[in-house]
Chain A
Amino acid sequence: MYPFSAIVGQDSMKLALVLNAINPSIGGVLIRGEKGTAKSTAVRALAGNLPDIDVVADCPYSCDPGDTKSFCRSCRTREIDIRRRRVRVVELPLNATEDMVIGGPDFSASIQKGVRVFQPGLMARANRGILYVDEVNLLADHLVDVILDVCASGENAVQREGISHRHAARFILVGTMNPEEGELRPQLLDRFGLCVNVHGAQDAESRVRVLQYRNEFDGDPERFCIGFQESDRLLATRIARARSMLPSIILDSDLHTLATEICVFHNVAGHRADIVIGHTARALAAFEGRSRAARQDVLRAALLAIPHRSRTSEPCVEAEPEAQRSNSPGQTRKPTVCPDEYPEEEPVHAPRRNAHMDDQESGPFQRSVLRADLPEAIFDIGSIFKVREIQHVSDKMFRKAPGKRSRTRSGNKKGKYVGSTLRKNSDDIALDATIRAAAPHQVNRKTANDLMVKINEEDIREKIRESRAGNFLLFVVDASGSMGAKGRMMASKGAIMSLLTDAYQKRDRVAMVSFRKQDAVVNLPPTSSIYRAGELLKELPVGGKTPLAAGLRKGQGVLRNVLIKDPTCRPILIVITDGKANESIGKGDPFWEALAAATELASDRRVKSIVVDAEEDGSFRYNLSARLAKVLKAEYVKIKDLRADVLLEIVRSGV
């Protein structure tokens, strides 16, 4: 195992982990960061530095011999032996089934005894240890719910498959995630006491050191570890000392006030943040061997506890604890953990070269006005934001909770096995659940052949599977000259880019059709390569007339092909235009032609449409897009309405 003290840099991550080890009441750490930044390595290594704990030997719940009041049922009734062991790191694999996480009937024991026997699950094993979830943002929702529940109560209550049982389950929850893969639900986010953001080292010196250590470790792990034994041991004793000091650490009441002020300033939900800051500040003081927490402890604690809870801006992506820490002590100003000028969450996929990233609303608009009169131009991508949820609402099967856009209960034996049911409508049998159901009856059943288990019809359980198939998003983009005016294109590109980022996180497939001059082209055939779409978008030129009808027809063709390939697919059509059609396919009026195409599109109930009006607010408006939307039976939105923080689910209730 790679030694904890051999991890180069990443100080705030290491600190957060150590503080949790000192004071488990802090409530865990969430480590957010890019790939390959020693996230997992640190968590694993931490366990080696924790003081050993006393447990009741053979107790599946690791009962604490010093705390007889919270003993489990079996420990209460028997003579106990005490054993000292290391703190466990229990991993929760992403593909775990629910019965293994919370526990369920144990079929081999049930068969022998003829009664249902409880088999403790991961929650039992994690009691008094560390529960580690790698890629916690990819964890299935039903498991997230379970963990939330247990974290909140410190107890695991099992009511399933004829079992009724409860036991203590208190653990340090440590999760890692790469925000590129999507965000966590706020509810779960809040459960993590602390949150740290990690990056790769940005100076050559540390990078060389990382490389050197790793090289030495791979060459001869044992020798490498011996080299760090001393510093690891020192850390372990420091943690142990801090732990024993912790109960006597004082946090003055004015510091309590400071903590609450910080929380109020950041508009955090609930009171957990205040409490966590208090716990963390005390742990910090203990770690540094002081008997009284100081002002700077509270400020440092806030840096770890606030970023993911602050509602003054999106979850802070790049809080710079080191930099801020150096100038925060002694200052009287209120500590702002997330700088207020921080732009809204910046998707990592956004092209870095985008110079207008920091510009607020007015910036890019003004800039592009200067170029509006050019016949053909390529506009930059405007400000990128987090988009509100867009879902298919027409089909009950297809929507449920914010999963990866649309979750679906699949009946075709594909997808993740998430649970079992008594229902019988397929031959997808859940073997484990079936045997569990049959187990207690085996004593009374006779088997004809040499099998130990006889299964009757009523024992059969079927699998519930869930697939997270993404949707298909078709963008039909107006690239005509009129879109170049008044920054429409830049804002539209920003909107599309935002939708693309969202699409990636939900694993959607996308395609893009653009129309300008005389014709429409399929810029991007259906693909899951969001990168490619982004690159294309960047280079999409603007100019010429507006063949809206051609654009819609082309889009229709793309949709038709997609639906032929996958009839269960529920595509979402997103039309971005100012509606000023002035080029027709045939001889008709351009706009009427467009409306005719829209009518046809609207007749296919499988397609959900959204018209994004690129026309800016003002005194003089054509409102053509709104008419188009009406005919298309589409949701009509302005670009600003797409923002997640402005309007939530405007149509959800209506449809």
Chain B
Amino acid sequence: MTSTLPLYPFAAIVGQDKLKLALILNIVDPTIGGVLIRGEKGTAKSTAVRGLADILPMIEVVENCPFQLPARDTHVVCANCMDQFCLNGNPAIQPASKASKISVVELPLGATEDRLVGTLNLEHALKTGEKRFEPGILGQAHRNILYVDEVNLLDDHLVDVLLDSAAMGMNTVEREGVSFAHPARFTLVGTMNPEEGELRPQLLDRFGLCVNIEGIRDARSRVEIMERRLGFDRDPWRFAEEWSNESAALSRSIQKAQMLCPDVATEKAILQRIAHACLKLGVDGHRADIATLKTTKALAAYEGRINITPEDVAAAAELALPHRMRRAAFDGAAGEVIEEIRRTLQSCSPDVE
């Protein structure tokens, strides 16, 4: 993502509030577990994800560290890191760190497995006769956003690898003569067009949130979209400049939410509400509950509150539950599923407490 041309600003996307919200909440709390964006062609899916780069906050990383580790985290991996840039194996030395922006790392569909997980560094092997691990995309993705366009078309064996490391938060490499493990905790963002086939449920469950988006039907907004796009195409720099204030404001409120998020109070009643709803909706396992809670907290924080309202839970559930419900009706009937979630939450509310 090092294009010199500015990207279409995230703040300038018309409508698609749910999509934007889901992405923002994932920045506020990266442990929510990513977003799956399902929708037809030409609905600003990719634009929104790429545009995120604009508003992403800074994180502290060790300089030249291939895994973007924070300074206090380094000792664990660096002991056997084959690129000993930072410590040279000496834990006493404090590595130099710098602030760096969270980036969007793309996984192209045609990627080979060795590029994804990392492989033997050939040049090093031939020059020195020593083994060295060359980090792959999963290495770059640690603490960043991993973006898979058309994730439903990803090769099966790549999906397995993704699942593995998404589950563990680690990428364990045992191949081609190198044995290496490094942390790989990333926010997984995928887009897909359901017409092209569905995702495996196992991978589906790894996405924290899921949004179904449609083209905007309202004529005025459609005009707005066209105008903005034309404006952008005419002079991208100026367009980005015009929106820079908005972008900065958004970025600020995300940062504020990040600070606030740990302080959001989680009362037992809220937990009960979530648990009851998940139980009634018949979701698999507990990941749904946890994702809903995290989303609820992030949402409250994003709105500048430290108390959770029932509306927060409802909004969070609409993002975190649809793709996890056992009844697989989310094909084309997304509206129905959302409706069911709403009803269930309502029915859960009065009798609790």
Contact = CB atoms under 8 A, between A and B. Distances in A.
Given A134-B164, A215-B271, A417-B176, A200 B198 contact: no
B197 A509 contact: yes
A459 interface: no
A181 B276 contact: no
Contacts of B131: 107-108
B238 interface: no
A417 B198 contact: no
A104 B176 CA distance: 10
A415 B271 contact: no
Interface of A: 33-38, 40, 91-97, 99-101, 104, 107-108, 111-112, 119, 121-122, 134-135, 138, 178, 180-181, 200-204, 207-208, 210-212, 214-215, 218-219, 349, 351-352, 404, 413-417, 430-432, 435-436, 439, 442, 450-453, 455, 467-468, 507, 509, 527-532, 534-535
B284 interface: yes
B198 A531 contact: yes
Given A94-B160, A531-B331, A211 B293 contact: yes
A96 B174 contact: yes
What is the predominant secondary structure among interface residues of chain B facing chain A? helix
A219 B205 contact: no
A108 B129 contact: yes
Interface in B167-185: 167-168, 170, 172-179, 181
Nearest to A40: B167
B262 interface: yes
A111 B126 CA distance: 11
Contacts of B98: none
B293 A202 contact: no
26 contacts: A33-B285, A35-B202, A35-B205, A35-B284, A35-B287, A38-B286, A100-B178, A100-B179, A107-B129, A112-B129, A134-B164, A180-B202, A201-B286, A204-B272, A204-B275, A207-B275, A208-B272, A214-B293, A218-B31, A351-B327, A352-B327, A431-B176, A435-B126, A452-B127, A467-B155, A531-B328
A452 B290 CA distance: 53
Interface string B272-290: 1011101100111111111
A410 to B, nearest CB: 11
A99 B200 contact: no
Contacts of B282: 352
A37 B155 CA distance: 26
A-B CB proximity, top 10 nearest: A36-B285, A36-B287, A528-B197, A207-B275, A96-B174, A529-B198, A452-B129, A100-B174, A432-B177, A432-B176
Given A35-B201, A97-B176, A210 B164 contact: no
B13 interface: no
A403 to B, nearest CB: 11
Nearest to B332: A532
A481 to B, nearest CB: 29
B176 A416 contact: no
Interface in B61-96: none
A298 B125 CA distance: 56
Interface string B121-151: 0100111111100000000000000000000
A527 B198 CA distance: 8
Contacts of B122: 431
Interface in B265-314: 266, 268, 271-272, 274-276, 278-279, 282-290, 293-294
B353 interface: no
Nearest to A528: B197
Interface string B91-133: 0000000000000000000001110010010100111111100
Which range contains the number of B residues in contact with the other chain? 35 or more
Contact of A94 (B130, B161, B276, B279): B161
Contacts of B117: 95
B234 interface: no
Given A200-B286, A207-B289, A91 B129 contact: no
Contacts of B205: 35-36
B156 interface: yes
Contacts of A528: 152, 197-198
Contacts of B127: 450-452
B279 A207 contact: yes
B172 to A, nearest CB: 4
Contacts of B274: 211
A535 to B, nearest CB: 6
A417 B161 CA distance: 13
Contacts of A200: 283-286
A522 B285 CA distance: 36
Contact of B125 (A107, A351, A414): A107
B202 A535 contact: no
A532 B198 contact: yes
Contact of B331 (A100, A135, A178, A529): A529
Contact of B113 (A104, A178, A352, A417): A417
Contacts of B21: none
A152 to B, nearest CB: 22
Given A135-B160, A215-B266, A416-B113, A453 B279 contact: no
Contact of B202 (A119, A178, A352): A178
B168 A40 contact: yes
B286 A210 contact: yes
A208 B125 contact: no
A97 B174 contact: yes
Contacts of A417: 113-114, 175-176
Given A35-B202, A181-B200, A208 B268 contact: yes
